[in-house]
Structure 1
């Protein structure tokens, strides 16, 4: 409040100068009106853009207990207040602040009246006697106004410096719990595939910290119970967990460098597709099965440490690259990060348009269990992704060619999504195709597994989402490993 009063004083001399400049004729002869052009020109030199003070109106200067009624300045200001009702103060009738500065605070009351007087100049409502009283008050408080001017300038410089250098460290807690009720409608020969009704769950706590407002330090804790439902198709998208044990599932720091470059460093659990700006296909995320995400990204080993970047070549075109490795081998000086087992790297060039989204990617992975069953060697994969977004309706897909020590493999997926079908906010998705030859349970498929899923995502509110799905899959292991599943996923977010 004190600073606001000090700032208001700065307009005092200017307002008096303007008033005297435009009122010469009024002082000499009160009957002659002030010319409008002269008044406007003078008022242009005065700033009246002071912030309003939301306080109770005081209508008599005698309410200010710290101003003595015997002072001539009190009586002069009282006359102006009584005539123009031009002072605002605190409800208890005092100016608060340092009691040694009552002259400065009193001058602030004078300045409040000057605002009203300046507005009345054009109406010829201010008398010569009142102008003379105002001029005398200005002379009386000139030293205080000059002193305050220097103090306010210094304070404003300090505030500007503080605002330019301030930052606030903010940590937000976000949580998500996914529960799956899976019902197989068929029996299966493979012991790795669960053929009974099961219930699995996963819980995650994300601690996101920002130091600048644009960066993110994420520490994620995860626990859960995962079964073997959809094991031949890489399991549930929101599955995982170590038999109810808490683990640090994510630990990374991402930050921008300039306007077009974003960098990420991860200590553990970095997934290959975590390095890309977009996986393009619209069912990656809402789908029940992990097969909904382009599985060729899994040719790179997950769960390691690494670093990557995203560089915006234009507003629509983005180049992503990343490298990850087994943190145990990376910590061994005899191995190093570039000789560690289970290392992988990825590069992707994407176009992110309003209607068309497309990307081309290259992924290299050493020791990826998903494709090689733990056999030594590397997998090189070239993939393409495409999606057309027509608002409520999207159609897209992906295709990939993989090479593992001379053996090649082709996989693909295509599908559609429809938003706001029947219920507002819902999404219907149907997709299917041939998956990469994923190894699971020590069994290598004789051919590419075939997978089809239809899901209906229903957001009940901002915290709860229910997603029922029907899935058909053929694991192609040579036995009776094809059939239907019904799955209901419930997701809580907080």
Structure 2
């Protein structure tokens, strides 16, 4: 570990900037003092480049130690790694007119101990700490000793050695402290490595506590105030540093409210579904299940997504709904599944593969674009006749992504799907159980939009866009249309949905978000069967305010208004109030 650290110090421009002091002719700064001590401080302020060492006293807590360990362990892996140069002209940010040009030239030609960044810059306009200067002095001494040992002592004058001796005495305390810090850090690193969970895997988690109730003459009377939870534990494993294997466990006791009509009969609608109601089919008992097993890795310029279980289109496709969408129904975005993302991404799910393929260089306005294609099957694990990877329920997605300028993102989406009898159109590949015991429901939309009593194929088209005029304002929206061709008499229908929202990030405090989203939940028109239903528009308006208590805790109060639930304006409006607390770790 110490060898690695001292190696980084020897080649650092911050450190090597200090070696300007070895030459009496190295300084050409205006108004430079003739005395060595003043000249030394001028160089330390004007030329130095801090990079490797911490600037404070020795850290006494684990977080600072871990931060140092991470920085040292990433030596040579980042774009800031250093490279040796043979001529000062190799630096693009150093000009012959610069006051320190002769000093740098002397270091290169006389001592051969200077380094820069791979992009050809020296970055010599930053400040230098005393610890870094002490390390640079030590590196300079090592170089002088090397020159003497190789019979090139004529390059080092007595004046140089006298100057270095005075500097070494002045910074002896810093050098001793630095050596002590390195020894202590090396010991702590060895302890961490001996007790670490895994060299390739880290644990991430999310826990949601939510108090919620629905108000309204009928739906309010038929539901109760509830206190629900959902917990996700994910293991994220990387084998190359660029890939990630995600294994996620979920436990939940939450379920969506069951909306009722004016006759107190259950509508069977998914309009009241909130994001924490999604995930965990063992709802109501906190049963644990693996709800996601995916692997993502680059293949040249192409990003590959492979799902063995729990795959979602929103895992790999750009949703373009910032501040409302949070990592597939996470606990830091919108409250409702409708406000979270375009419903077209909830058509199907399960196991399959997807590719994100970039193309084009882009001009001054149109930015580089990409094509996203994916295939997911919700019954891929079943060998039963009529199921499996290709014969069961599936959905295939194609999407064109592009940007306009630096603040507009647009995605045009097409999804073709097949759904067996008794399934739901917007089911995320797994369906949902409502509070009243209704199974096979979707996760968004009315029952008329979701219910497929017989097998059906669909062709869906969607458009999603996000516009960020400033860092304090984001505007986004979507529209989707599905043409459903059913195998039963009168099962053909058209399903529409659209919505838009405004988000104010950092509202009141950094990390807070105020969001308002409104639109029309997925609803069906064109039904010709006797059970066809009404064509009234099921409007929804949601307002929420995410308050960031700390980096790991947020509290989100919000209200959801549902008009004409079940796409029938004869039904009473419903109001859902929720107080959601999200813990992330």
Is the TM value for this pair above 0.5? yes
Count of aligned pairs between the two proteins: 364
Listed as ranges, the gaps of 5+ residues in structure 2 are 11-104, 116-131, 163-197, 259-268, 327-332, 361-366, 425-441, 443-448, 486-491, 525-530
Please state how far the C-alpha of 1:293 moved relative to its aligned partner: 2.5
After superposing the two structures, state which structure 1 stretch, 309-318 or 276-285, moved more. 276-285
Pairing of 1:2-401 with structure 2 (within 5 A): 44=109, 47=112, 111=148, 118-120=155-157, 170-188=200-218, 195-229=223-257, 232-233=270-271, 235-240=273-278, 241=280, 242=282, 243-258=285-300, 260-280=301-321, 282-285=323-326, 286-297=333-344, 300-302=347-349, 304-314=350-360, 316-328=368-380, 331=383, 336-340=388-392, 342-353=393-404, 354-367=406-419, 368-369=423-424, 370=442, 371-375=449-453, 376-391=455-470, 392-401=472-481
Please state how far the C-alpha of 1:124 moved relative to its aligned partner: 12
Listed as ranges, the gaps of 5+ residues in structure 1 are 9-39, 58-85, 89-107, 126-167
Instruction: Supply the distance in 1 between the matched residues of 2:338 and 2:380 (Cα, whole angstroms).
Output: 29
Please state how far the C-alpha of 1:278 moved relative to its aligned partner: 3.3
Cα contact 1:346–1:363 (8 A) shared by 2: yes
Please state how far the C-alpha of 1:410 moved relative to its aligned partner: 2.0
Determine if the alignment matches structure 1 residue 472 to structure 2 residue 558: no
Cα contact 1:398–1:412 (8 A) shared by 2: yes
Cα contact 1:346–1:364 (8 A) shared by 2: yes
The one-character-per-residue Cα deviations of 1:268-323 (angstroms, maximum 9, x if unpaired) are 11112223033345422310011113343255223x11100111224631211110
Please state how far the C-alpha of 1:365 moved relative to its aligned partner: 2.4
Residue 534 of structure 2 is matched in structure 1 by 446
Instruction: Supply the distance in 2 between the matched residues of 1:2 and 1:223 (Cα, whole angstroms).
Output: 47
Instruction: Supply the distance in 2 between the matched residues of 1:42 and 1:382 (Cα, whole angstroms).
Output: 64
Cα contact 1:437–1:445 (8 A) shared by 2: no
Instruction: Supply the distance in 1 between the matched residues of 2:246 and 2:237 (Cα, whole angstroms).
Output: 6
The one-character-per-residue Cα deviations of 1:136-157 (angstroms, maximum 9, x if unpaired) are xxxxxxxxxxxxxxxxxxxxxx
SS of 1:476's partner is helix
**Rg bigger for which structure?**
1
Residue 420 of structure 1 is matched in structure 2 by 506
Q: TM-score, normalised by structure 2?
A: 0.55
Instruction: Supply the distance in 2 between the matched residues of 1:196 and 1:234 (Cα, whole angstroms).
Output: 14
SS of 1:267's partner is strand
Please state how far the C-alpha of 1:362 moved relative to its aligned partner: 0.8
Instruction: Supply the distance in 1 between the matched residues of 2:504 and 2:310 (Cα, whole angstroms).
Output: 33
Instruction: Supply the distance in 2 between the matched residues of 1:180 and 1:318 (Cα, whole angstroms).
Output: 38
SS of 1:274's partner is helix
SS of 2:503's partner is strand
Cα contact 1:277–1:310 (8 A) shared by 2: no
Change (3 A) 1:445 1:294: farther
The one-character-per-residue Cα deviations of 1:143-182 (angstroms, maximum 9, x if unpaired) are xxxxxxxxxxxxxxxxxxxxxxxxx952110000112111
Instruction: Supply the distance in 1 between the matched residues of 2:108 and 2:238 (Cα, whole angstroms).
Output: 48
After superposing the two structures, state which structure 1 stretch, 314-323 or 115-124, moved more. 115-124
Change (3 A) 1:249 1:445: farther
Change (3 A) 1:329 1:210: closer
SS of 1:321's partner is strand
Q: TM-score, normalised by structure 1?
A: 0.64
Change (3 A) 1:123 1:313: closer
Residue 91 of structure 1 is matched in structure 2 by none
Cα contact 1:345–1:363 (8 A) shared by 2: yes
Change (3 A) 1:424 1:339: same
Cα contact 1:299–1:379 (8 A) shared by 2: no
SS of 1:456's partner is strand
Cα contact 1:373–1:444 (8 A) shared by 2: no
Residue 82 of structure 1 is matched in structure 2 by none
Which residue, out of 551, 554, 558, partners 1:462?
551
The one-character-per-residue Cα deviations of 1:398-430 (angstroms, maximum 9, x if unpaired) are 111111123112211012111232333321111
Cα contact 2:517–2:541 (8 A) shared by 1: yes
Instruction: Supply the distance in 2 between the matched residues of 1:488 and 1:41 (Cα, whole angstroms).
Output: 66
Cα contact 2:311–2:376 (8 A) shared by 1: yes
SS of 1:435's partner is strand
Please state how far the C-alpha of 1:357 moved relative to its aligned partner: 1.3
Instruction: Supply the distance in 2 between the matched residues of 1:334 and 1:56 (Cα, whole angstroms).
Output: 75
Residue 429 of structure 1 is matched in structure 2 by 515
Instruction: Supply the distance in 1 between the matched residues of 2:108 and 2:497 (Cα, whole angstroms).
Output: 77
Cα contact 1:177–1:202 (8 A) shared by 2: yes
SS of 1:233's partner is coil
